[in-house]
Amino acid sequence: MAEIVLSAFLSVLFEKLASATLKSIASYKGIDAEMKKWHRLLNQIQGVLADASQKEITNQSVKRWLNDLQHLAYDIDDVLDDLATEAMHREFTHKSEPITSKVRKLIPVPLCCINYSRTHDKLDDITAKLQDLVEEKTSLGLSVKEETRPKDINRRLQTSMVHAI
């Protein structure tokens, strides 16, 4: 059951990672390589979800791994939402440049640098956790499983298709 929820949630993350808005802000902030790495690592993890779903029933370590993955997926989603919000804010302030230039003069420079550093620390932390999960999947014996349907279901589908034509 966890596999279905996580797989759907990872699909949402893949959509967000592929969005033009996120790519634009990631490029602007110089974190586009990090976003590509997240995509690659999440792809590796998504491949073993079916196997993990089967093994979590009998293996507590796999169950914990799936739980850690779920929490990390929520953290990734939060970061991607923050970046999307920042992109929209940037677009809005770009359109109203004369007003915002006055406001920017009031913001102290160190505050901007602290926020920038905090964002990079968060990105680095998520990347490290993703890499740990990828490494741990191997030690847990998780592998890519193809979804297979029982033969009689395939036969029924083929028979239904023939009658439909």
pLDDT tens, residue by residue, 3-34: 788 999 999 999 999 999 899 889 988 999 99
**To the nearest 5 percent, what fractions of the chain are helix, strand and coil?**
85, 0, 15
Identify each DSSP E strand in the chain by its residue range: none
Q: Token digits for 147?
A: 């979804």
Q: How far is residue 110 CA from its own chain's centroid?
A: 30
pTM: 0.73
Q: Token digits for 120?
A: 């990079």
Please state the length of the chain: 165
pLDDT tens, residue by residue, 41-94: 999 999 999 999 999 999 999 999 999 999 999 999 999 999 999 888 877 776
